[in-house]
């Protein structure tokens, strides 16, 4: 059975579904992706469904499950590239894909993940204090020692 390839793009895992998936293939993707998140430590997953001409309840449920699994493994999932006809059909079918973030395309998905991954900046006047913690001072001292040893 074919597998859906999972590519690593910097800090993001990119899954492009290009074939009409059998149910078993979707289940396989679910477990493969969980493993890749753990192996790579990536914090973002983009699932590109541009190539899917339908999303039925099984695939919809698989996408929701993937998003839930990823979240537990500290990774955010964005589904991108849904065709308008697929969106119309999904809603009529009664599937809302709750808990899944969506974006128009891979580029927007990357932006969305980058925005949510930005660390909270510390207050400006605390910068010096942060730099001079005993730990960072010890690290700097070690670095200087190493430099001297190299000389």
Partner 1 sequence: MTASTGTGRLQCQSITGDEDVVRVRQLVRAHAVGAKLSLVDQTKLVTAASELARNTLVHGGGGQATVETIDTGIRRGVRIVFSDEGPGIPDVALAMTDGYTSGAGLGLGLGGARRLVDEFDLETAPGVGTTVSVTKWAR
Query: Which is nearer to partner 1, 44 or 81 (by Cβ)?
Result: 81
Query: Which is nearer to partner 1, 23 or 39 (by Cβ)?
Result: 23
Which residue, 85, 9, 93, 88, is CA-closest to 47?
A: 9
Closest separation in Å from C-beta 43 to partner 1: 28
Closest separation in Å from C-beta 31 to partner 1: 16
- Residue indicated by tokens 């980058």: 114
For every residue of 88-140, which 3-state class applies, written as one string? Answer: HHHHHHCCCCCCCEEECCHHHHHHHHHHHHCCCCCCHHHHHHHHCCHHHHHHH
CB 81 within 8 A of CB 48: yes
Query: Which is nearer to partner 1, 16 or 28 (by Cβ)?
Result: 28
Closest separation in Å from C-beta 117 to partner 1: 31
Query: Which is nearer to partner 1, 92 or 124 (by Cβ)?
Result: 92
Q: Which residues bind partner 1 (CB under 8 A)?
A: 20-24, 53-58, 60-61, 83-86, 88-89, 92-95
Which residue, 41, 103, 95, 30, is CA-closest to 67?
A: 30
Closest separation in Å from C-beta 20 to partner 1: 5
* Number of helices followed by number of strands (H, E) in the chain: 6, 5
């Amino acid at each position: 059975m074919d597998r859906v390839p999972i590519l690593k793009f910097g800090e993001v895992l990119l899954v492009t579904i290009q074939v009409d998936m059998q149910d078993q293939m979707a289940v396989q993707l679910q477990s493969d992706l969980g493993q890749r998140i753990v192996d790579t430590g990536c914090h973002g997953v983009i699932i590109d469904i541009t190539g899917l001409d339908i999303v039925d309840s099984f695939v919809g449920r698989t996408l929701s499950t993937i998003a839930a699994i990823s979240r537990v493994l500290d990774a955010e999932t964005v589904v991108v590239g849904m065709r308008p006809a697929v969106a119309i059909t999904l809603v009529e079918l009664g599937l809302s894909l709750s808990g899944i973030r969506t974006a128009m395309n891979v580029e927007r998905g990357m932006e969305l993940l980058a925005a949510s991954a930005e660390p909270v900046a510390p207050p400006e006047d605390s910068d010096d204090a942060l730099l001079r913690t005993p730990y960072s001072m010890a690290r700097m001292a070690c670095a200087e020692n190493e430099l001297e040893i190299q000389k």
